[in-house]
Amino acid sequence: MSNYELVIFDCDGVLIDSEGISKKTLMSQLRELGITIDDAYFIKNCLGRSFAHVKQSLLADFKLILADDFEQTHQAVLVENFARELVVTPDIKWLLGQFPLKFCLATSSSRPRTLNALKITALNEYFSDNIFTTSEVANGKPAPDLFLHAAKNMGVAAEKCLVFEDSLSGIQAAKAAGMAVYRYMGGSHLLSSESNLMAEQSDYLAFRHWRDLSKLVPSLISNK
């Protein structure tokens, strides 16, 4: 455990409890188009994915061709909902304040949306030059490109990185990059019996509370 040199955080559902808001917003807009998706569909096809991937999934599964301005409208509504409802995941600021290692953020969300979310939640004091988004690489998650890009820019070899993810696509990306990965399941969107089952059947460590890391990975928590 002491060999880690860099911790890479996903943003949505890991640093910020945003995925429930995103799910609610997307479901509402799709219902207006006559399309209904459930939680399982969202977790499989939308969670941790770029909007381009979501668009492709909706086309393949529902023959739905989204209007050119759908993403722009979706993001505008999401910004409004974030301003009213967005909060950090419990104890994440405590954790960031304890880190003896370098850390960064690697997200499938756009940079403007990410910067706005960090500002709303006051996490921007922890992240500035250490933010990496899918727009900077050729392929989004589950491809390893984004995590490898983040590690390269932070000057750390992939095998020295630990990733915190909530989505299965993000976990696949971390594994493909040759990085260790833990699944954070404390976000409101994963508090379900199905999610518990997914964790029990997994080959990665899953946990719900950031403070549990003091026991799970003691080397990540500063003694100061």
Which residues are CB-neighbours of 35 under 8 A, at least 6 positions away? 58, 62, 64
> Strand (E) positions, the chain?
6-9, 102-107, 131-133, 161-165, 180-184, 205-207
User: Would you place residue 48 in the very low, low, confident or very high pLDDT band (cuts 50, 70, 90)?
Assistant: confident
Q: Which of 217, 4, 41, 11 shows the shortest CA–CA distance to 130?
A: 11
Please state the domain extents for the chain: 6-17+86-220, 19-85
Query: Mind giving me the DSSP string for 110-158?
Result: -HHHHHHHHHHTT-TTT-SSSEEEGGGSSS-TTSSHHHHHHHHHHT--G
pLDDT tens digit sequence for 166-219: 998 999 999 999 999 999 999 888 876 455 545 555 678 889 999 998 888 887
User: Would you place residue 53 in the very low, low, confident or very high pLDDT band (cuts 50, 70, 90)?
Assistant: confident
Q: Which pLDDT score, from 0 to 100, does residue 120 have?
A: 96
Tokens of 168: 């299965």
Element (H, E) at 81: helix 70-85
Tokens 């939640």 belong to 121
* Assigned CATH class of 6-17+86-220: alpha beta
**Architecture of domain 19-85 in this structure:** Orthogonal Bundle (1.10)
Q: 0.75 exceeded by the pTM?
A: yes
Q: What percent of the chain has pLDDT over 70?
A: 93
Summary mean pLDDT of the chain: 90
User: Would you place residue 2 in the very low, low, confident or very high pLDDT band (cuts 50, 70, 90)?
Assistant: low
